[in-house]
């Protein structure tokens, strides 16, 4: 590094020696020694551009960004063609979140010297932060054109491809980075994340292990490994990893939240609640954990309708208080009988129970009188997603967009009726409705009230919400003749023979999520088993019952209640849907849990010839199975007391002839029921929409 200042040669030589020494200290990380020498040079030469720049770099390195900006700005004012200084000024401005100014500095550096490798990479990072992803990609490519073995640029390119949803290209970039520098632990973690999203969970796990092997206290890698295990159904291993992440970083709210979700899946509701509460105590504005708390209370027995309503109302009031309603009024044409624009808002346009319920409706709607829009928050589309796309005129991806932006899109599309699917379940976003995105807004397939004043209707039926319902809600109830709708499972395996004929004893079963199998459910099922001598209980849900902790917990609770461990059976195969349905050949009678009933599991059991016994409660979520049974003519299998539940199970288990008859008849009865009549169902929904729309039009006339 040479000096071009106008000073006597002897002084220049002395200064150059001091500068060379300072630079050596700087490169060695001896920042205090370098800083002292830089300051000594500036005492003699206050306008030394190189030294001002380097002293600014030291201040940037130690986090004194304001001082760094002042020093480097002075350097480039003295020496405007100083490309390296413009690059480092950009770095400092970026650290200060002044991204537009940082971008300008990087551009100046590259205008002066297009071959500055780091400036291309730094500009790419800044443009990525600004959301200008395609421009960022171009910058990384320029850097890699200059230096193909620039591992950091490959990594950054991978990160940007991931944000663009180009996951295969992201994985390729990470692989290139690791081929150059296999020791970069962050790249192993990043590659694991992309592989996880691609569904390559075993490969993802391998990369997280590699990251942890190189950096054992890498909290993010432990956390991400926990997610991968969770998706594999290896819940016990997921718990270990989340706890390790928390041990490293006790304020890791994401780990507490996910740990709560695993405990919920394992049926440990108390620990789930404690984990969610811990996450919220660390970050009171942690939306995901608060939403999960709202979700998990639907599983907790003993909560009154008042309790559930209060929690939903509190949540909605908290998370809508800062929403500013649009100044512009909705301009929808208030003509009662025109073609209506219906918008469906969901993350469940995929292989999901809600998707399965809604697809028959979407496939059967009246295109002459209704135009359908699907606002899809889908990060991983599947075959069912493609089927939805086939049936609708307007498919609008909203993944990554804010609630306010989505509401603006819906208003711009002049949606007349917006249907929010599945409430707070999964990644659904009913709070978009708080922005008053459409004149009429409807909650459909939610498990409880939305708690929103802007949600006008809640879809239900006369069983889910009888006239004397004790459930509380902010919406107006829209009762349909039938609520649930399923496509006939034409590829399902044939109904098998009654298991008790082969085994010599009755097998009860439940294929529901273990989160639904709470202590009260176990207590009642234990009474059922004791009332039917020699009977067994088979539990299955995906491959989750392979977890030793889950099996041990359930066996302990049953044995405490006087039911031997040999009477509780577990099936843990990760089946396909057809394989899963074949497992119903192993059970004679299905037992429904409570207060969170099974809907899809009830339909599947009936389709496979297996009757279901359910205890109906006072809320929508605790009456789902009863609604389905009603439409198949099995009202006698819906009871309203625990004693009646045990008696119903005992009596049905003793009526082998009825069980054989149901085994033969149920699939036909279900197929012929309103549960599988999509055209008629679509007419019911459309009639409801027309009624809602006419009500709104009438109100507009009355306000003129």
pLDDT higher than threshold 60 for residue 6: no
Domain boundary pick from 207, 240, 273? 240
What CATH number should be reported for the domain holding residue 508? 3.40.50.2000
Residue 580 CA to residue 610 CA, distance in Å, equals: 14
Tens of pLDDT, residue by residue over 377-414, are 998 899 999 999 999 999 999 998 999 999 999 999 99
Residue that is last in its domain, among 216, 240, 264: 240
Give a yes or no: residue 206 inside a domain: yes
Each residue's pLDDT tens digit, 316-328 = 999 999 898 777 8
* Residues 433-468: tens digit of each pLDDT: 999 999 999 999 999 999 999 999 999 999 999 999
Question: Is residue 195 domain-shared with residue 301, that is, in the same domain?
Answer: no
| Domain end among 261, 296, 331 | 296
445, 568: one domain: no
How far apart CA 247 and CA 236 sit, in angstroms, is 17
**CA separation for the pair 179, 531 (Å, rounded):** 65
- One domain for residues 179 and 292: no
Average pLDDT of every residue of the chain: 95
Give mean pLDDT, residues 73-96.
96
More confident residue, 290 or 13: 290
Residues of the chain with pLDDT > 90, as a percent, come to 92
3-state SS assignment for residue 99: helix
Q: Are 550 and 267 in contact (CB under 8 A)?
A: yes
Please check whether residues 77 and 88 belong to one and the same domain: yes
- What pLDDT does 7 receive? 55
Domain that holds residue 559: 499-676
Mean pLDDT of the region 597-614: 98
Note whether 623 and 510 are same-domain residues: yes
Q: Is residue 575 part of a domain?
A: yes
CATH classification of the domain holding 345: 3.40.50.11380
CA 294/CA 531 separation, integer angstroms:
36
- pLDDT band at residue 5 using 50, 70 and 90 as cut-offs: very low
Q: Are 125 and 58 in the same domain?
A: yes
Q: What is the pLDDT of residue 326?
A: 79
d(CA 411, CA 694): 19
Q: Please check whether residues 479 and 591 belong to one and the same domain.
A: no
**Same domain for 194 and 102:** yes
Is a pLDDT exceeding 90 seen at residue 190?
yes
| Nearest-angstrom CA–CA distance, 343 and 393 | 11
Q: Is the confidence at residue 12, as pLDDT, over 80?
A: no
Q: Residue 3 domain-assigned?
A: no
Q: Is the pLDDT of residue 704 over 70?
A: no
- Asked, for residue 2, whether it belongs to a domain, the answer is no
Asked, for residue 176, whether it belongs to a domain, the answer is yes
User: Is 246 domain-assigned?
Assistant: no
Q: How many CA atoms lie within 13 A of 443 on its CB side?
A: 31
Query: Using 50, 70 and 90 to split pLDDT, how confident is the model at 204?
Result: very high
Of the candidates 524, 634, 614, 507, the residue with the CA atom closest to the CA atom of residue 571: 507
Same-domain check for residues 189 and 320: no
Q: pLDDT tens digit string along 549-559?
A: 999 999 999 99
Residue of 698, 683, 686 lying closest to 439 (CA atoms): 698
Query: Rounded to an integer, what is the distance from CA 447 to the centroid of its chain?
Result: 17
70: domain CATH number is 1.25.40.10
Are residues 174 and 312 part of one domain? no
Q: Indicate if 169 and 146 belong to the same structural domain.
A: yes
Rounded-to-integer distance, Cα 225 and Cα 201, Å: 10
Domain match, 14 and 64 both: yes
Cα–Cα distance measured from residue 646 to residue 561, given in angstroms and rounded to the nearest whole number: 15
1 occurs within a structural domain: no
Based on the structure, what is the number of domains in the chain? 4
Where does the pLDDT of residue 3 fall: very low under 50, low under 70, confident under 90, or very high at 90 and above? very low
Please check whether residue 350 lies inside any domain of the structure.
yes
* In the predicted structure, residue 109 carries a pLDDT above the cut 60: yes
């Amino acid at each position: 590094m040479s000096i071009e200042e106008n000073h006597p040669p002897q002084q220049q030589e002395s200064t150059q020696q001091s500068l060379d020494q300072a630079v050596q200290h700087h490169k060695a990380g001896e920042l205090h020694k370098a800083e002292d020498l830089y300051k000594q040079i500036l005492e003699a030469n206050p306008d030394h551009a190189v030294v001002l720049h380097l002293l600014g770099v030291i201040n940037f390195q130690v986090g004194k960004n304001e001082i760094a900006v002042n020093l480097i700005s002075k350097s480039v004012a003295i020496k405007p063609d100083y490309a390296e200084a413009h690059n480092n000024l950009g770095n400092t401005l970026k650290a200060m979140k002044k991204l537009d100014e940082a971008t300008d500095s990087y551009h100046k550096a590259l205008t002066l010297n297009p071959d500055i490798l780091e400036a291309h990479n730094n500009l790419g990072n800044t443009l990525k932060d600004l959301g200008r992803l395609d421009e960022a990609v171009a910058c990384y490519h320029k850097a890699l054109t200059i230096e193909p073995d620039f591992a950091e640029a490959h990594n950054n390119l991978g990160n940007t491809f991931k944000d663009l949803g180009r996951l295969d290209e992201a994985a390729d970039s990470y692989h290139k980075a690791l081929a150059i520098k296999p020791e970069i632990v962050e790249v192993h973690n990043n590659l694991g994340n992309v592989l996880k999203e691609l569904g390559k969970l075993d490969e993802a796990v391998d990369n997280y292990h590699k990251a942890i092997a190189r950096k054992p206290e890498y909290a993010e890698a432990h956390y991400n490994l926990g997610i991968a295990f969770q998706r594999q159904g290896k819940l016990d291993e997921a718990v270990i990893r989340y706890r390790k992440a928390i041990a490293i970083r006790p304020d890791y709210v994401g780990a507490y939240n996910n740990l709560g979700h695993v405990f919920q899946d394992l049926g440990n509701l108390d620990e789930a609640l404690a984990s969610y509460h811990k996450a919220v105590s660390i970050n009171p504005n942690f939306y995901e954990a608060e939403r999960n708390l709202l979700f998990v209370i639907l599983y907790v027995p003993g909560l009154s309708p008042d309790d559930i309503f209060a929690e939903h109302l509190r949540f909605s009031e908290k998370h809508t208080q800062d929403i500013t309603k649009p100044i512009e009024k909705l301009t929808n044409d208030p003509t009662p009988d025109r073609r209506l624009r219906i918008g469906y808002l969901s993350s469940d346009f995929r292989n999901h129970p809600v998707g399965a319920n809604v697809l028959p409706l979407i496939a059967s709607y009246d295109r002459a009188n209704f135009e359908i829009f699907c606002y899809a928050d889908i990060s991983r589309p599947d075959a069912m997603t493609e089927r939805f796309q086939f049936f609708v005129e307007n498919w609008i991806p909203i993944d990554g967009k804010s609630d306010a932006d989505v509401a603006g899109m819906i208003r711009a599309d002049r949606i007349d009726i917006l249907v929010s699917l599945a409430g707070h379940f999964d990644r659904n976003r009913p709070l978009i409705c708080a922005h008053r995105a459409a004149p009429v807004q409807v909650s459909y397939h939610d498990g409880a009230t939305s708690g929103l004043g802007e949600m006008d209707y809640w879809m239900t039926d006369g069983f889910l919400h009888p006239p004397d319902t004790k459930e509380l809600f902010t919406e107006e109830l829209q009762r349909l003749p039938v609520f649930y709708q399923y496509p006939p499972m034409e590829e399902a395996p044939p109904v098998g023979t009654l298991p008790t004929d082969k085994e010599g004893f009755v097998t009860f079963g439940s294929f529901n999520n273990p989160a639904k199998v709470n202590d009260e459910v176990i207590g009642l099922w234990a009474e059922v088993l004791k009332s039917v001598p020699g009977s067994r209980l088979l539990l299955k849900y995906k491959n989750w019952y392979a977890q030793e902790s889950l099996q041990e917990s359930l066996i302990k609770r049953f044995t405490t209640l006087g039911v031997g461990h040999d009477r509780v059976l577990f099936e843990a195969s990760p089946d396909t849907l057809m394989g899963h349905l074949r497992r119903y050949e192993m059970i004679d009678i299905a037992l429904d849990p409570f207060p969170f009933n099974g809907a899809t599991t009830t339909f599947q059991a009936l389709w496979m010839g297996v009757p279901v016994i359910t205890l109906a409660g006072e809320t929508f979520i605790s009456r789902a199975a009863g609604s389905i049974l009603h439409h198949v003519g099995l009202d006698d299998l819906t009871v309203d007391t625990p004693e009646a539940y045990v008696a119903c199970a005992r009596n049905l288990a003793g009526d082998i002839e009825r069980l054989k008859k149901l085994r033969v008849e149920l699939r036909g009865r279900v197929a012929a029921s309103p549960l599988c009549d999509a055209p008629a169902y679509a007419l019911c929904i459309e009639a409801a929409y027309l009624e809602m729309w006419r009500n709104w039009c009438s109100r507009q006339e009355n306000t003129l």
